[in-house]
Chains A and B, each alone.
Chain A
Amino acid sequence: MFPEALEFHVSGSINNLVEWMLHTFRGFFDWVAEAILGMLMFLNDALSILPWWAYLLIVCILAWLTTRRVATTVTLTLLPLIIGIFGLWELAINTLAIILAAAFISILVGIPLGVLIAESPIAAGFIRPLLDLMQTMPSFVYLIPAVIFFGLGYVPAVFATIIYSLPPIIRLTDLGLNQVSEDVIEAALSCGATRWQLLREVQLPLAVPSILAGINQTTMMALAMVVVAAMIGGGGLGYEVLRAINRIDVGSGFEAGISVVILAIIIDRLTQGLAKRWEPPTVNNS
């Protein structure tokens, strides 16, 4: 056995640290919790006002605008009907609200962070390893700090989802900015572009396809996490899946699972179509 004399525990210090943080930053955590909850409730209410057919209409219009293909549009429009037929419409709306809230905050935080690491090697040196760490951790791990700082309920669910879905938007913003061709940057500099003008007029617009891909990835990650976050009170479709597992009720697990998949397909197709629309015309597709 390992000699007991060599054992050294850090768990006590960590517990103390967490205690101290909770105590010292009480006001901050409360503020964050309130902001997240307020936003989530607003989104949930707003989404609940719309009748079910309005969603079909919105999906139909967006699908047509972004893909311009009849088959895709019809399929995407009819898919949500299945969720309604399974009786999971309201839960799906709850899930959608959490996804939108989390993805929105992730994007709001992620794009500036992406710009920061693209522009500053020092910031990149700090943030990149952190992103590597975040992406190797199993999603369940994110539930722990969320529960510690925010207890159980919607807020920790959104918080864990934000943390989990943050890396792709940061990385793809960074990638998009770095992929801008050296020729174009050189030309803009030779015209007398300042660093800010270069970013605003050249790099960011050219990075948009990559940033949109990041938004797509972030939203998909948020959806994946929302299901897991049901374990700490996220509610929605995830809770339905969780309950089915607890009761070994394969049938309703299937219904809830399919609904999650449908939600994923629709969000994925719509955000991907958006990214394709953005590309400037070339000889081939003018």
Chain B
Amino acid sequence: MEKAIEVSRLWKIFGRDVDHIELNQETISQLEESDEYIAAVCDMSFSVNKGEVFVVMGLSGSGKSTLIRCLLRLIEPTAGSIRINGYDVCGLDQEELTKFRRQQVAMVFQHYGLLPHRTVLENVGFGLKLQGVPEKERLDLSHAWIERVGLQGFENYYPDQLSGGMQQRVGIARALACDPPVLLMDEPFSGLDPLIRREMQEQLCRLQHGMQKTIFFVTHDLEEGMRLGDRMAVMRGGRFVQIGTPEEIIANPADDYVASFVQDKRNASQEVELCSLKH
């Protein structure tokens, strides 16, 4: 199967003068003992297939937000290589990186990251404006996407006048308006209340059905990961402890950590079975 994202031996270490560290067995074990350095992403290698929804699940502090930011170099990786659609992301210079971000990837953020001084319409067209797309085309595309995410009638509102769910719809429309093949989503629905979250997940599924994008989705919510993910990875301490389909992970947790993570889910499904047996 064709790969959209290929990551190999990726490291991100936070600390002073990290850039000068040569990574080898010896320094890595030193790093792990020292208090001055924190490895948020440890020697990660994985790949994501084209058109697949890949969910990374982990608790806060597991390094998942750092990982997703490394993919488009919002955070500079310390070592390793990232290939997205054939682009060697770590090797791009500033100009190429800008072009890569404009055309190949788009990101949706937990806190929306909307421009408070721009209307919904202008926010959706922001990426297009940066690319220098002519105004008429920009407006047409923005209107089309506003309609697709169900925000027609709110074009001239400002972000602070909208609810969280609606703001995130703007965020999604902004990301999709540039029509990138890869979509990165960093806990996009975590700040929303459960009903809205459910609705947004369903909408994302519907959108994805029509687009077949490669989606890299970060969440701390198992339920969400299971609903959306074609494949799922459980992350802990900067490493993936298990990768597989949601069903595989629930059926065969790789270790106690994953087991405790999915336990509620197993209990719940057992209860459902029990209930259905009774009736």
Contacts and interface: CB of A to CB of B under 8 A. Distances in A.
Contacts of A184: 113-116
B145 to A, nearest CB: 14
A15 interface: no
A205 interface: yes
Given A202-B115, A206-B116, A191 B158 contact: no
B23 to A, nearest CB: 26
Contacts of B160: 280-283
B117 interface: yes
A190 B117 contact: no
Nearest to A193: B130
Nearest to B69: A186
A34 interface: no
Interface string A186-197: 111111111001
B109 A197 contact: no
Contacts of B178: 191
B269 interface: no
A201 interface: yes
B246 to A, nearest CB: 27
Interface in A263-286: 280-283, 286
Contacts of B131: 192
Contact of B101 (A190, A202, A205, A283): A190
B102 A192 contact: yes
Interface string A201-227: 110011010000000000000000000
B158 A187 contact: no
Residue among B160, B171, B178, B184 with the most chain A CB within 10 A? B160
B130 A190 contact: no
Nearest to A205: B117
Contact of B107 (A187, A208, A283): A187
A280 B174 contact: no
B111 interface: yes
Interface in B20-67: none
B181 interface: no
Contacts of B11: none
Interface in B160-174: 160-161, 171, 174
A195 to B, nearest CB: 8
B161 A281 contact: yes
A7 interface: no
Contact of A183 (B100, B109, B129, B158): B109
A190 B161 contact: no
A183 B126 CA distance: 15
B277 interface: no
B102 A191 contact: yes
B98 interface: yes
A192 B130 contact: yes
B122 to A, nearest CB: 10
Chain B, interface size category, equals 20 to 34
Residue among B102, B107, B117, B178 with the most chain A CB within 10 A? B117
Contacts of B184: 190
Interface in B80-112: 98-103, 105-107, 109, 111-112
B94 to A, nearest CB: 8
Interface string B111-137: 111111100000000110111000000
Contact of A190 (B106, B114, B115, B116): B106
Residue among A192, A201, A281 with the most chain B CB within 10 A? A192
Given A183-B109, A187-B107, A283-B161, A192 B127 contact: yes
Interface in A131-172: none
Contacts of A194: 98, 130
A191 B127 contact: yes
B114 A187 contact: yes
Nearest to B105: A190
A186 B108 CA distance: 10
Contacts of A281: 158, 160-161
A194 B100 CA distance: 12
A281 B160 CA distance: 7
Contact of B113 (A186, A192, A197): A186
A209 B236 CA distance: 42
A206 B116 CA distance: 8
Contacts of B69: 186
Interface of A: 183-184, 186-194, 197, 201-202, 205-206, 208, 280-283, 286
Interface of B: 69, 72, 74, 98-103, 105-107, 109, 111-117, 126-127, 129-131, 158, 160-161, 171, 174, 178, 184
22 contacts: A183-B111, A183-B112, A183-B113, A187-B171, A189-B101, A190-B109, A191-B102, A191-B106, A191-B127, A192-B99, A192-B102, A192-B127, A193-B98, A194-B130, A202-B115, A206-B115, A280-B117, A280-B160, A281-B158, A282-B160, A282-B161, A283-B160
